[in-house]
């Protein structure tokens, strides 16, 4: 019950955040120089044609009215038409979102599955060589721009070693339409196509790793400091005095209370993750929403840009909501305090 | 007292931190006979906590190093026995009651989980085994023995849901889980208000007497010494300066440091004589 209230409060906040985001993105889109109608029609279009399109898009109306149109469309779940693809933005995003979502999920998984054990090892052997190694690794992964990591991985695994595919989501020879969730890995399992599942994983591995590195480094560092902090707590000493074996102490009594900071960091990292996905998707020709977003920004395709940003925003807010729930699950103090 | 359950002989411990070596214990000896209630009293930095940690095998080496002496438990030297045998005793034959109920319980696990885990591995070390249900039954039983009104509810709770006094009881219950013969109590209740502390000490004393356990009470509080022990060791700067039956010590302290300690206790009748005694020390 208390937890539901806590959730409700978070959801209300999230809605406020999204309204704020819609205003900001709307304002930015109008301030950026360049006329979308002129860019869509090309340099050969006559002034009359441009004025026509401007009227059609509502660009000739007062700015407040334009925002009103945008927000009512948003309320109906209608993001308008894209000038670039000449399709409803809704359709474009539906087609590309799943690819990005799958990439981001794989990224988070890699970052967590590698980052947390690295952090635990560093904390367990503090100031010994595993710690030094992890710290160097974490710093390197944090300062390496993801486009550089992407190119490096692509060259190494794709062109030198020839072990992993470098572009796309599936081999062109494979005809499989992800029709249930849009996620190839999940839909292939639903359809019982293990061959597709394997290939999808192989195609995911490089872009997801490139994207995961920075986050992994962050998570390793946070987990390390959080574990070291917890290891000096009285309750860890107490469990030692009661003869609880070390593996249980480290992986149960220390790890669980240490889990909250990396989880929280993950939520915040999520924004930069989506940002970096723009670059990584381009490098790996990943047909995702981020790559779509870049193309539309270059074309000043206003409806599409605002659509992509709004969907990213909703995604960000939802992920952080999920993380809040997880934190409440991991640490009862958060859950119980929420009621006071 | 050669037949003592616990006998510390001439124990020396030094610490090396930042290149500086300090001899923290300079030959400490003390005896805890079976069924006796012994107090080890001294101010912060006197070495009483290091003594306790050495007995429990909790010193981190390094920075600590045991430079000499023996710790006999039931006739066997803890310092020379195989690590595995020593681990068998920890939390089972000898157990510890922790000082701070606010920080000595893991905040993210229920009481049942934490006590169950302690019991599970204690059983394993002793070569016993019991199912989860039996373990929980034992957890509830011990929680009842520390006079919890609703052991099942307490077991289901997270530490944050319990008061300080209740948490301290849980810490005592944890120590009692595997029926130890020796309880080492590190100033239990210091973090609590005076009334609750008095209840906790009373409970501890009752439990020790009912079960015929030996109690080693580590404290800086002479009031606690008087309440809970019949023999007392006074420590200062890494050595035992005086040891006598508790009543005698309060009647006629011999050592100057002991006199100063007793004189420093504030009196309800006014006049703490603190300044004068401090000068004497």
Measure the CA–CA gap between A97 and A105, rounded to whole angstroms: 12
Per-residue model confidence (pLDDT) at position A340: 43
* Chain B environment of A336 (Cβ under 8 Å): 158, 160-161
pLDDT of residue A1: 64
- Interface contact B92-A234, CB threshold 8 A: no
pLDDT of amino acid B278: 40
Instruction: Establish, for the pair of chains A and B, how many residue pairs have beta carbons separated by less than 8 Å.
Output: 77
Topology of domain B6-280 in CATH is Rossmann fold (3.40.50)
Query: The pTM is what?
Result: 0.79
pLDDT value, residue B280 = 40
pLDDT, position A337: 67
Task: Say how many Å lie between the first and final Cα of chain A, rounded.
Answer: 12
Write the DSSP symbol of residue B53. H
Q: What is the 3-state secondary structure (H, E, C) of B67-120?
A: EEEEEEECCEECCCCCHHHHHHHECCCEEEECCCCCCCCCCCCCHHHHHHHHHH
Kindly report, residue by residue over B200-221, the tens digit of the pLDDT: 888 888 888 888 888 999 988 8
Instruction: Give me the domains of chain A, ranges plus CATH numbers.
Output: 89-298 (1.10.3720.10)
Question: What strands, in cross-sheet order, belong to the sheet with B64-73?
Answer: B20-32, B6-17, B64-73, B76-77
Cβ contact B108–A252 (<8 Å): no
Residues A150, A210: Cα–Cα separation, whole Å = 5
Interface check A253 vs B, CB under 8 A: yes
Contact B109 A248 (CB under 8 A): no
Closest chain A residue to B106, measured at CA = A235
C-beta atoms of B105 and A238 within 8 A: yes
Average pLDDT over every residue of B256-260 = 78
Strands B76-77 and B20-32: unpaired
Q: How far apart (Å, rounded) are the C-alpha atoms in residues B242 and B191? A: 27
Nearest by Cα to B201 from B217, B180, B181, B178: B217
* Helix ranges restricted to H, chain B: 48-56, 83-89, 111-125, 132-145, 151-156, 164-176, 194-211, 222-228, 246-251, 256-263, 274-280
Checking if the pLDDT of A185 tops 60, the result is yes
Give me A70's structure tokens.
């945008």
- For the stretch A15-65, pLDDT in tens is 898 889 888 888 887 777 777 777 777 778 788 888 888 887 777 788 888
Contact B106 A257 (CB under 8 A): yes
Q: Where are the domains of chain B?
A: 6-280
Q: What is the ipTM of this complex?
A: 0.82
Mean pLDDT rounded to a whole number for chain B: 83
Model confidence band, residue B190 (pLDDT cutoffs 50, 70, 90): confident
Chain A within 8 Å of B172 (Cβ-Cβ)?
no
pLDDT in tens, B67-124: 888 888 888 888 888 888 888 888 788 888 888 888 889 989 999 999 999 988 888 8
First to last CA, chain B: 30
Q: Do A257 and B108 touch (CB under 8 A)?
A: yes
Write out the two tokens for A122. 């560093």
pLDDT for residue B271 is more than 60: no
Q: What is the pLDDT of residues B123-167, one digit of tens each?
A: 888 888 888 898 898 889 889 888 888 988 988 999 988 888 889
pLDDT at A107 over 80: yes
Per-residue pLDDT for B198 more than 70?
yes
CB A230 within 8 A of CB A126: no
Give the one of B98, B117, B160 whose C-beta lies nearest to A333's C-beta. B160
Decide if pLDDT at A114 tops 90.
yes
Higher pLDDT pick, A327 / B261: A327
pLDDT band at B270 (very low <50, low <70, confident <90, very high): low
């Amino acid at each position: 019950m208390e937890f539901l209230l806590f959730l409700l409060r978070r959801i209300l906040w999230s809605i406020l955040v999204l309204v704020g985001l819609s205003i900001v993105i709307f304002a930015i889109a109008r301030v950026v120089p360049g006329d979308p109608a002129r860019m869509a029609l090309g340099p050969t279009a006559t002034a009359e044609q441009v004025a026509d399109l401007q009227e059609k898009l509502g660009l000739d109306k007062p700015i407040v009215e334009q925002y009103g149109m945008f927000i009512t469309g948003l309320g109906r779940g209608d993001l308008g038409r894209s000038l670039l693809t000449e399709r409803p933005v809704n359709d474009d995003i539906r087609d590309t979102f799943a690819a990005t979502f799958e990439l981001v999920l794989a990224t988070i998984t890699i970052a967590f599955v590698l980052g947390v054990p690295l952090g635990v090892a560093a904390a367990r052997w503090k100031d010994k060589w595993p710690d030094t190694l992890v710290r160097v690794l974490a710093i390197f992964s944090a300062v390496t721009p993801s486009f550089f990591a992407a190119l490096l991985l692509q060259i190494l695994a794709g062109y030198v070693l020839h072990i992993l595919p470098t572009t796309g989501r599936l081999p062109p020879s494979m005809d499989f339409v992800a029709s249930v969730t849009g996620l190839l890995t999940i839909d292939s399992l639903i359809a019982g196509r293990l061959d597709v599942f394997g290939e999808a994983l192989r195609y995911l591995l490089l872009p997801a790793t490139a994207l995961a590195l920075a986050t992994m480094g962050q998570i390793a560092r946070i987990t390390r400091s959080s574990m070291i902090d917890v290891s000096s707590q009285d309750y860890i000493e107490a469990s030692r005095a009661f003869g609880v074996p070390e593996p249980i102490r480290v992986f149960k009594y220390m790890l669980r209370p240490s889990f909250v900071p990396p989880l929280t960091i993950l939520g915040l990292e999520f924004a930069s993750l989506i940002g970096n996905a723009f670059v990584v998707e381009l490098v790996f020709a990943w047909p995702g929403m981020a790559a779509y977003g870049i193309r539309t920004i270059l074309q000043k395709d206003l409806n599409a840009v605002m659509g992509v940003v709004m969907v990213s925003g909703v995604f960000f807010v939802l992920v952080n909501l999920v993380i809040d729930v997880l934190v409440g699950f991991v640490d009862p103090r958060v859950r119980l305090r929420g009621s006071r | 007292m050669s037949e003592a359950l616990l006998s510390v002989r001439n124990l020396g411990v030094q610490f090396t931190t930042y290149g500086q070596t300090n001899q923290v214990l300079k030959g400490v000896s003390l005896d805890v006979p079976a069924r006796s209630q012994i107090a080890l009293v001294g101010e912060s930095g006197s070495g009483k906590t290091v003594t306790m940690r050495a007995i429990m095998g909790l010193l981190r080496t390094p920075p600590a190093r045991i430079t000499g002496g023996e710790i006999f438990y039931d006739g066997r030297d803890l310092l020379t026995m195989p690590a595995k045998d020593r681990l068998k005793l920890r939390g089972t034959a000898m157990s510890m009651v922790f000082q701070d109920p606010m920080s000595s319980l893991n905040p993210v696990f229920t009481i049942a989980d934490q006590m169950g885990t302690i019991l599970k591995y204690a059983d394993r070390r002793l070569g016993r085994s019991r199912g989860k249900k039996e373990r929980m039954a034992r957890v509830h039983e011990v929680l009842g023995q520390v006079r919890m009104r609703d052991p099942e509810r307490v077991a289901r709770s997270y530490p944050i849901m319990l008061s300080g006094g209740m948490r301290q009881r849980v810490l005592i219950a944890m120590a009692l889980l595997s029926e130890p013969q020796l309880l080492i109590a590190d100033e239990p209740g210091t973090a609590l208000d005076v009334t609750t502390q008095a209840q906790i000490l009373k409970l501890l004393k009752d439990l020790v007497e009912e079960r015929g356990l030996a109690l080693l009470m580590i404290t800086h509080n002479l009031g606690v010494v008087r309440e809970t022990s019949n023999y007392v060791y006074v420590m200062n700067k890494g050595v035992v300066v005086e040891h006598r039956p508790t009543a005698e010590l309060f009647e006629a302290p011999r050592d100057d440091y002991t006199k100063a300690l007793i004189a420093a206790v504030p009196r309800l009748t006014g006049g703490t004589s603190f300044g004068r005694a401090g000068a004497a020390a």
